[in-house]
Amino acid sequence: MTELDRSEVLRLENQVCFALVLATRGMIALYEPLLEPLGLTHPQYLAMLALWEKNPRTIKDLAEALQLTPATLSPLVKRLEALGVVDRRPSASDPRQLAITVTEAGMELLDKAATIPGAITERLQMDSGQLLDMYNILHTAIDAERRALDKDTP
Amino acid sequence: MTELDRSEVLRLENQVCFALVLATRGMIALYEPLLEPLGLTHPQYLAMLALWEKNPRTIKDLAEALQLTPATLSPLVKRLEALGVVDRRPSASDPRQLAITVTEAGMELLDKAATIPGAITERLQMDSGQLLDMYNILHTAIDAERRALDKDTP
């Protein structure tokens, strides 16, 4: 590699990973004022989306949906419990297991939450074709990353 | 909005923000084993890329390159200093200001670092067209996010 090639390869602005970090950070910043009335951070919002879709569910099941380890997810769920939007009760199917259930207060957030995706799209002023392209290419990357990471696991 | 529309709009899997979070997390996980021999985390690596490109530079200038606030960047630079890869010296142009300088040990990481972008591309097995598409659409999103966030600032 020549010096010139090397400086191009290592240029911060050229890194796809840097673009991912910036795009994610900017997107989360856009959600912040919209999530404030719900009292949720962005990771908590994602967890609530998964729970509104299906609850009660075990921590293991929720961790799979969010693609986190149960250990990483556990403090987040404890904060949601402290906020009063979920609680943990013995599971109906297996009473030795605790299942996460959305409380009445958690269900009451649903009306406000339903306005957020539209508000984000409006704030972004990206057309739906661009958003769909981004969604698709990100999922191509997610699949490629997963295949590469799976190879690491013996 | 009907119940069905609402459940589609709020479906976790449909969220572009969730795709961004997953793609960024997966990408950083791919870097981890490659950065380990350099002793750097991914945010530290991004800072070193900016510094290899140009140093000495002030914390304000580096913060602009990384699109972080100086307050957020400061602890990261302190860790790089503790690792011995940068130091802070009075700036030649303004001796009252400290400038961040890459040390000899920091320059020695450059050869290893130069192999990383290629190794990532190889691990990902995405073709260069796909990576370029992703890079371009992410920058469209970054610009759109910046415009939207600028509107928040009075």
Question: Which of B1, B139, B144 has the CB atom closest to A124's CB atom?
Answer: B144
For A11, the domain range is: 3-124
Mark yes or no for CB contact B135/A29 under 8 Å.
Answer: no
Residue B149 falls inside a structural domain: no
CATH number at residue A83: 1.10.10.10
Q: Is residue A5 predicted with pLDDT exceeding 70?
A: yes
Residue B136 falls inside a structural domain: no
Q: Which stretches of chain B are DSSP H helices?
A: 3-9, 16-35, 42-53, 59-66, 70-82, 104-108, 110-113, 116-124, 128-152
Residue A21 falls inside a structural domain: yes
What pLDDT was estimated at residue A154?
63
Rounded to an integer, what distance in angstroms lies between the CA atom of residue A44 and that of residue A21? 19
Beta partners for residue A102, in sequence order: A86
What pLDDT was estimated at residue B154?
63
- Structure token digits, residue B91: 């700036």
- Give tens-digit pLDDT for A52-94: 999 999 999 999 999 999 999 999 999 999 999 999 988 887 8
Residue B150 falls inside a structural domain: no
Residue A136 falls inside a structural domain: no
Rounded to an integer, what distance in angstroms lies between the CA atom of residue B13 and that of residue B18? 7
Residues of A in contact with B18 (CB under 8 A): 46, 49
Q: Is residue B59 predicted with pLDDT exceeding 70?
A: yes
- Structure token digits, residue B25: 């997390």
Q: What is the mean pLDDT of residues B53-80?
A: 96
What pLDDT was estimated at residue A3?
79
Rounded to an integer, what distance in angstroms lies between the CA atom of residue B88 and that of residue B59? 10
ipTM: 0.95
- Structure token digits, residue B120: 């990532």
Q: What's the number of domains chain A is made of?
A: 1
The contacts of residue B133 (CB under 8 Å, 6+ apart) are A133, A137
Q: Is residue B90 predicted with pLDDT exceeding 90?
A: no
Identify the residue among B3, B8, B126 best suited for mutation to test binding to A, counting A beta carbons within 10 A and taking the highest.
B126
CA nearest neighbour of A141 among A24, A12, A4: A24
**How many pairs of residues across A and B have Cβ atoms under 8 Å apart?**
187
- Give tens-digit pLDDT for A85-101: 999 988 887 888 889 99
Q: What is the mean pLDDT of residues B25-38?
A: 97
pTM for this entry: 0.94
Question: Which of B46, B114, B141 has the CB atom closest to A18's CB atom?
Answer: B46
What pLDDT was estimated at residue A152?
76
More confident residue, A152 or A147: A147
Question: Which of B9, B23, B130 has the CB atom closest to A114's CB atom?
Answer: B9
Q: To which residue do tokens 């769909």 refer?
A: A132
Residue B139 falls inside a structural domain: no
DSSP-based three-state secondary structure for B93: coil
